[in-house]
Homo-oligomer: A and B are copies of this chain.
Amino acid sequence: MKQLKFYFSKTSLSSNDLAAKLQGFLMSQLSKEYADFLHEQETNPYSQFVLNESSYQVWVVNLLTEQACEEMQPILLELERIDLESYSEKLIVEKLEVRQLPVSQLIELFNSEEQQETFTIQLLTPTSFKVAGEYVIFPTVRLLFQSLMQKYSRLYPELNRFDEELLDYLVQHSKITSYHLQTHYFSVHRKKLPAFKGKLTIKLHGASTLRSFVRMLLAFGEYSGVGMKTSMGMGGMKIEERKT
């Protein structure tokens, strides 16, 4: 998996609007075949969102599969400026950062002995879940882990099958112990979706394999995002480093 971060001077667009436009731009750069392929996927092999960071707007694009890297990375690496259809100013790429998490390293995380019992997750962009047709604007460990497990098993079916019992076990052995969250409505295609952002801490109790599994899921989540519409700018997440 690859993560590309493009730094632009701040535009007059909100991060929500800029993410929507950049999503359109990204699709326009792909081969028709690959764009068509993406449209058919239940889980997109990429995610993207925009952050405001002091004087920059940062476009974060995550490529989640080998194929997504092959198809999209060459195009992305060549970008020096971006002409958005419905925005007059050019976006100049002032800085580009690339980091990667090979799948082998994910597996290593799962096989290593994880000591950490509490994990703090920053939900960097508006995050939401849909349950039985309703948007859910409060997180639960079930919704968070279910989303990550589903994305992981859909993108890496050869490594992982979605396991309902494992999810139940995870839910029974974890708990949100603190949070600081607020709602943020996110515009997608003229609809305003109820969502929330901020941070939350999950405490695990139980076997160390559980901790390792969660560590792996969250590391994956930094690339995949969590919840719905992660290709539209929603659900960008990050593990907060522990203060030592």
Contacts and interface: CB of A to CB of B under 8 A. Distances in A.
Interface stretch (A42-50, A55-63, A176-184, A213-221): A176-184
A15 to B, nearest CB: 18
Interface residues of A, number: 13
A114 to B, nearest CB: 24
A137 interface: yes
A180 B182 contact: yes
Given A138-B138, A176-B137, A182 B183 contact: no
Nearest to A198: B182
B178 A181 contact: no
A30 to B, nearest CB: 36
A229 to B, nearest CB: 19
Contact of A180 (B138, B176, B178, B183): B183
Interface of A: 137-138, 176-183, 194, 196, 198
